[in-house]
Amino acid sequence: MKSRILIALLMFALFYLGAASAQAEVDTTISTPHVAQMNMDMLILPGTLEFLKNGIQRAEQQGAKFIIIHLDTPGGLLESSQNMTQAIFDSKVPIAIYVSPSGSTATSAGVFITVSGHVAAMAPGTSIGAAHPVTGEGKDIEGDMRKKASNMASAMVKSIDQERGRNAKWVVKAVRKSSSLTETEALKENVVDFIAKNQLELLQKAAGKKIKLAGKEFVLEDYSKLPVVIYEPSFQARTLNFLANPNVAAILWLAATTGISIELYNPGLILPGVVGVICLILALAVSQVIPVSYVGISLIACGAILFALELFVTSGILAVGGIISIVLGMIYLFDPSVEPYLRVSLEFIIPLVLALGAFLLWSLFELARSRRMRPTTGKEGLIGEIANVRAEFQSVSRVNKTILQGKVFLNGEYWNAIADLDQVEIGKGVEVKVIAYEDGFLIVQKLK
- Name residue 140's beta-bridge partners: 134
Is residue 172 within 8 Å of 154, Cβ to Cβ? yes
CA dist 69 and 36 (Å) reads 8
CA dist 60 and 206 (Å) reads 20
CA distances from 37 to 59, 69, 227 (A): 10, 6, 10
CA dist 249 and 242 (Å) reads 9
- Name residue 105's beta-bridge partners: 127
Q: Which residue, 246, 281, 297, 253, is CA-closest to 77?
A: 246
- Residue 202 carries which DSSP code? H
Q: What angle do CA 106, 107, 108 make, to 5 degrees?
A: 130
**DSSP states of 408-432 as a string?**
EEETTEEEEEEE-TTS----TT-EE
Catalytic center residues? 108, 148
Q: Check residue 383 and give left, alpha or beta (phi > 0: left; psi -120 to 50: alpha).
A: beta
Q: Tell me the CA end-to-end span of the chain in Å, nearest whole number.
A: 50
